[in-house]
Structure 1
């Protein structure tokens, strides 16, 4: 038979079923290792995800282990079955007997990282197969070729991005790199209780950065918050040998070390950056590099690090190096696990950093961006607590419903009151009673009045977040016609309320992830195919529930059964500058105000809030450090001056003690 005929004969045969790459033994070994060794999960949680497991039962077991780990609870044959049973998963994963089998499957946990890599590698292969299938499907669609290439690149990038990983690097290693780079450029002419800060007035006020405290240092861009934090770090490390961990999300470690050398050696930072050092600078550089090389400073400059990875790395660093202070630069660049909105994500991150400080029993200094409210506010230009980005304020007559009595009380009358319970939205989008930890006056701000189609009104600052289908959105990002979450609307019931048209964007995303085409999806719903015509309208709750069932999506389930009524914005009008207030709701991080669902303040998690600012924007030298909140001590203001060419802050001699 000719080769041609042989090939033809082969092509007509029934193809063998291809099983996706996986290794169930490796999966069982990882889970067994976690159950027999409490330190095993620390070695794998940073990189291994539930989605990497091939067997669904293994993914559920691992996710439950991660949940227990995050709560700092033990993982064993008592706690794990209880957690699985609570989530109604114990029977589904094989019961206690299967968990016992996992324990006996692996004799030692010493190879857990090797097993985890096998799982990750197989998951990567499956992801590549899936991406290839999607790209293949896209290629057959009649669409713009440029758009096709973009989608194909995104599919492959999403696979490669999942493997990005980076660890802490000792500063001594980086110093060698920067010195070699500098040498090359020059040839071409190119006793406190807490951690001391190096500023006497600040140390008197705070007694150093205290254990278990979350300290927020906020400023507008380019004011010097990074330099301030670095100055504190190198003083504590070089003078007092305190171990410092730095998560530098904004600057690479080489740039960070350049700044440290400049401040430590009193060398012009620009000459270091360009390599145009003078003769005496080399001697200073050598001395400064020697001092910093002996300083216990550890830097992780992973860009866009997630909060779970950050916490895991911090725990490991604390175990290995006994860290005294962690610095995060800066808060808004961290990725949270919540992706519904940036406001909710930042709130989750600030809570996680506070929990980290308490867990490791060390202070955490988190840098944060200030909103533009400082620049546009009339009168006093000093920053206020309400200026923290992703936080906002409400007018004093905003009515809050007390759940114990049903009375509606102005928010200004709740200031300094204790044991207050109000209505808030839980994770399943149900209205529940929730405890308030603090209600406070946050100064005077320019406010706007938002009016909905049903007649509800609320007056808030431009940066106060409101609930939308796209997540929490600031008032200044909303426009007429957008729908915001409210409580009951007179004359309407939950069953006949409509979910806004925007939900189709989310449904389309989930549909593609589940492998449905638009045609097969509509067929599954029992609908006649109509292309995307239905996407132009909102969805009733009954139909949304059916969609949730087909796609098996928890968010859509919650949305279909939620207590939220979606009310379109009729107008947004400027009111003027007035006294404003906000509140902290620790569990839900939101509350109902004037029957509209709004987010709460993010400063609730901080023990200390400091603002760095320039009284005169034209004066780049003189700065003030305002300690606006100090949970356990005095507040006040400190005069500083900034030597830009040395990237270093100095304390003015005229400072008075804090009041």
Structure 2
């Protein structure tokens, strides 16, 4: 491995020949620009002259003007850049450096690869500089480094246009697969058929809010969904528990899977026959791709960093956060509603960045006590309502638990889909089993 002193004297990665070949191919064949754009931006060129020339080409394209040696030279002259790039002589040499435009995508990939390496070197230098600053917290340095690395990764995931026939073929294949598997969900099913029929499952990039008053069952619902997805569907799930310990959460999960009363587990008052159920449930959970983060008072940037690692290293497909208003803001001096707005926007952006659903729990205001909550009752900030793609409320009348026999009854609870950006809204009836602290489906359809 090269020493830092040797690295300091090295020329940053670049390919002058590939840069010239890209520009020359575009001048020979203006249609080549469309093949280059999915790969390159002006700042991907190492040589400043080549970067200015590519910008001038893009400006000509934006104005729907012809792109050739004459128009390019005039555009550079009008912008005052002609002498800076080396004059008409340099521009005219571009087309002589490449015999054909057929390999322009290959040239573009070479230029982009060198650009990515330069960005990595720049990030490494910035990390090194930050690490020497005593006043900067190490976790801030790590989070910023991760963010910049992921930005490079996103740039790598370029897209391009597709012919309709290509999309039609894939669409028909997807429809045929759904027909044969009878799976009508395009997202991740939460395990409640009535809800999944309404949403087609939780969709990638969606920010989903589950809201309720305290003690109505937000955590129980989220844990039931996480169990349905990870234990029974074997889909990797990340679960951030900011309120309960991981042991308390696991006790709930074991109780619900084994169908043993939570109180019996907490007190140890178990029957010999319960241990087989406990062992079977523990075996299922042991094999499940469920990853729990137990960090009270977790900061927003730490949560984002953990989520990115979960996605990159464990291929987590959905994340649950219990709950949103317990996340610590990076700007504690801001008013609370502005802190929550910042957290909400960041979680929505994170869902889009990782391309997975993020489900966050949130309390609703005291104004909704005794009546069905609405979007206006989401606590702390109206931005949660705006940022969320789906908002689901849990509701049941206070006192309905009284008189319920713990071993024989269920409590009917309303699951209110109050907002769905890309689908219908409505109310679903589900069953709460207080003895197991879990939810199950009822036979009722959405109303």
Aligned residue runs from structure 1 range 262-301, under 5 A: 262-301=255-294
Residue 322 of structure 2 is aligned to residue 343 of structure 1: no
Judged with a 3 Å threshold, the aligned counterparts in structure 2 of structure 1 residues 55 and 650 are, in CA distance, closer, same or farther, namely: closer
8 Å contact from structure 1 (residues 244, 325) kept in 2: yes
Residue 215 of structure 2 is aligned to residue 222 of structure 1: yes
* 3-state secondary structure, aligned to 2:278: helix
* 3-state secondary structure, aligned to 1:359: helix
State how far apart, in whole Å, the 1-side matches of 2:422 and 2:271 are.
48
Q: Deviations over 1:472-522 (max 9, x none)?
A: xxxxxxxxxxxxxxxxxxxxxxxxxxxxxxxxxxxxxxxxxxxxxxxxxxx
Residue 373 of structure 2 is aligned to residue 383 of structure 1: yes
State how far apart, in whole Å, the 2-side matches of 1:326 and 1:40 are.
32
Judged with a 3 Å threshold, the aligned counterparts in structure 2 of structure 1 residues 245 and 63 are, in CA distance, closer, same or farther, namely: closer
Residue 232 of structure 2 is aligned to residue 239 of structure 1: yes
Judged with a 3 Å threshold, the aligned counterparts in structure 2 of structure 1 residues 65 and 607 are, in CA distance, closer, same or farther, namely: closer
Judged with a 3 Å threshold, the aligned counterparts in structure 2 of structure 1 residues 258 and 55 are, in CA distance, closer, same or farther, namely: closer
Aligned to 2:167: none
State how far apart, in whole Å, the 1-side matches of 2:217 and 2:142 are.
42
State how far apart, in whole Å, the 2-side matches of 1:258 and 1:286 are.
13
Q: Deviations over 1:283-312 (max 9, x none)?
A: 000000000000000000111111111111
State how far apart, in whole Å, the 2-side matches of 1:49 and 1:277 are.
59
Q: Can you give the 5+ residue segments of structure 1 that lack an aligned partner in the other structure?
A: 1-24, 76-190, 392-599
Aligned to 1:619: 400
- TM-score, normalised relative to structure 1: 0.41
Aligned to 2:442: 652
Aligned to 1:358: 352
State how far apart, in whole Å, the 2-side matches of 1:65 and 1:234 are.
30
Deviation at 1:66, TM superposition (A): 2.3
Aligned to 1:369: 363
Deviation at 1:617, TM superposition (A): 1.0
Aligned to 1:606: 388
- Greater share of helix residues, 1 or 2? 2
8 Å contact from structure 1 (residues 640, 651) kept in 2: yes
Alignment match of 1:334 (pick from 321, 327, 332): 327
- TM-score, normalised relative to structure 2: 0.60
8 Å contact from structure 2 (residues 220, 438) kept in 1: yes
Alignment match of 1:634 (pick from 419, 424, 431): 424
State how far apart, in whole Å, the 2-side matches of 1:229 and 1:222 are.
13
**Alignment RMSD:** 3.3
Number of residues of Structure 1 aligned to a counterpart in Structure 2: 293
State how far apart, in whole Å, the 2-side matches of 1:228 and 1:609 are.
14
State how far apart, in whole Å, the 2-side matches of 1:205 and 1:246 are.
24
State how far apart, in whole Å, the 2-side matches of 1:601 and 1:66 are.
25
State how far apart, in whole Å, the 2-side matches of 1:281 and 1:240 are.
25
8 Å contact from structure 2 (residues 205, 351) kept in 1: yes
8 Å contact from structure 2 (residues 218, 361) kept in 1: yes
State how far apart, in whole Å, the 2-side matches of 1:317 and 1:68 are.
13
* 3-state secondary structure, aligned to 1:261: helix
Q: Deviations over 1:430-469 (max 9, x none)?
A: xxxxxxxxxxxxxxxxxxxxxxxxxxxxxxxxxxxxxxxx
* 3-state secondary structure, aligned to 1:358: helix
Q: Deviations over 1:522-574 (max 9, x none)?
A: xxxxxxxxxxxxxxxxxxxxxxxxxxxxxxxxxxxxxxxxxxxxxxxxxxxxx
Deviation at 1:271, TM superposition (A): 1.2
Aligned to 1:256: 249
Deviation at 1:618, TM superposition (A): 1.4
Q: Deviations over 1:44-99 (max 9, x none)?
A: 99xx995x64368x99xx97992893695349xxxxxxxxxxxxxxxxxxxxxxxx
Alignment match of 1:69 (pick from 124, 143, 147): 147
* 3-state secondary structure, aligned to 2:205: coil
State how far apart, in whole Å, the 2-side matches of 1:254 and 1:318 are.
24
State how far apart, in whole Å, the 1-side matches of 2:313 and 2:129 are.
24
State how far apart, in whole Å, the 1-side matches of 2:187 and 2:384 are.
24
State how far apart, in whole Å, the 1-side matches of 2:313 and 2:142 are.
26
- Greater share of strand residues, 1 or 2? 1
Deviation at 1:41, TM superposition (A): 7.5
8 Å contact from structure 1 (residues 68, 74) kept in 2: no
Judged with a 3 Å threshold, the aligned counterparts in structure 2 of structure 1 residues 205 and 65 are, in CA distance, closer, same or farther, namely: closer
State how far apart, in whole Å, the 2-side matches of 1:49 and 1:382 are.
54
Judged with a 3 Å threshold, the aligned counterparts in structure 2 of structure 1 residues 388 and 283 are, in CA distance, closer, same or farther, namely: same
Deviation at 1:622, TM superposition (A): 2.2
Residue 133 of structure 2 is aligned to residue 54 of structure 1: yes
State how far apart, in whole Å, the 1-side matches of 2:122 and 2:187 are.
32
Judged with a 3 Å threshold, the aligned counterparts in structure 2 of structure 1 residues 204 and 41 are, in CA distance, closer, same or farther, namely: farther
Aligned to 2:36: none
